[in-house]
Amino acid sequence: MILDKLINKRIERYQSELLQKYCDEVESMYRKMRGWRHDYHNHIQAMQASMALGKYDEVSRYLSDLNDDLTTVDTVIKTGRVMVDAILNGKLGIAAQNEIPVNAKAKIPEGTPVSDIDLCVIIGNLLDNAVEENKRLEPEARFIRVYMGRKNTQFYLSVTNAAGKKQTKSGSHFESSKGADHGFGLRRVSAVVKRYGGYFSADSEDGGFTAEILIPLTEKDRS
């Protein structure tokens, strides 16, 4: 019990320090998106001038650079809550840096009772585990799928990722070869979900791992 409390405090402190970093990263991406829109006409004029001079290779390079910028902007996921956007996009950025393909669709429905901090704890721990599992595999075998939205009268979140061999359970927790501290992230997620009267499940199979969460929406938004 004492060990669990100490580990939970350490995780909270660590995630609090990272949260500001993720917020800064997302704000930077938002600024870049606003800047791209502001410069739209300038981009068009620059390409028209190059076309008039017959500098088609220059236009091609210009379009390629713009496409790279727009791709970066398009990777920003907007869930409806800025703090959650920060940690989700930050973690997905880490996945990209590690050559992990991600398919993500995330929108927080009205009536979701979970606080921003608790959502960040849930998302942060699940995606940390997903990234770590993928890093142990060859690049061609890696993947992460994230879905967040409404399912009937529930807030629903699922994270599925590539993994190695099926993990074994010790009681309600998965055993791991990564050391004593690994696995406490899932316990923390379970504790947060339980506090909101929700349901948390984790399923391990050869080649994949799936975590699912269901939390009741507030009464006024269930209809």
pLDDT at 17 (0 to 100): 64
- Domains of the chain: total: 2
- The C-alpha atoms of residue 36 and residue 40 are separated, in whole angstroms, by 6
Same domain for 82 and 69?
Answer: no
CATH number at residue 98: 3.30.565.10
Residue 27 lies in a domain: no
pLDDT at 15 (0 to 100): 61
pLDDT at 195 (0 to 100): 93
Task: Give the start-end residues of each E strand in the chain.
Answer: 102-106, 144-151, 154-162, 169-170, 173-174, 199-205, 208-216
- The C-alpha atoms of residue 164 and residue 206 are separated, in whole angstroms, by 6
Could you list the pLDDT tens digit for every one of the 223 residues in the chain? 676 666 666 666 666 665 666 566 666 666 666 666 666 667 677 777 777 888 778 778 877 777 666 555 455 688 988 878 878 888 888 898 899 999 999 999 999 999 988 898 899 889 989 999 999 999 999 999 999 999 999 999 999 999 988 776 655 455 554 544 446 678 889 989 999 999 999 988 888 999 999 999 997 655 5
Residue 2 lies in a domain: no
Asked if 79 contacts 106 with a C-beta cutoff of 8 angstroms, the reply is: yes
Residue 165 lies in a domain: yes
Residue 152 lies in a domain: yes
Q: Which of 73, 95, 128 is the last residue of a domain?
A: 73
Same domain for 91 and 191?
Answer: yes
Same domain for 47 and 120?
Answer: no
pLDDT at 181 (0 to 100): 44
Supply the range of the domain harboring residue 56. Answer: 39-73
Same domain for 93 and 44?
Answer: no
Same domain for 52 and 86?
Answer: no
Same domain for 190 and 124?
Answer: yes
pLDDT at 37 (0 to 100): 64
Same domain for 91 and 63?
Answer: no
**83-84-86 Cα angle (round to 5):** 65
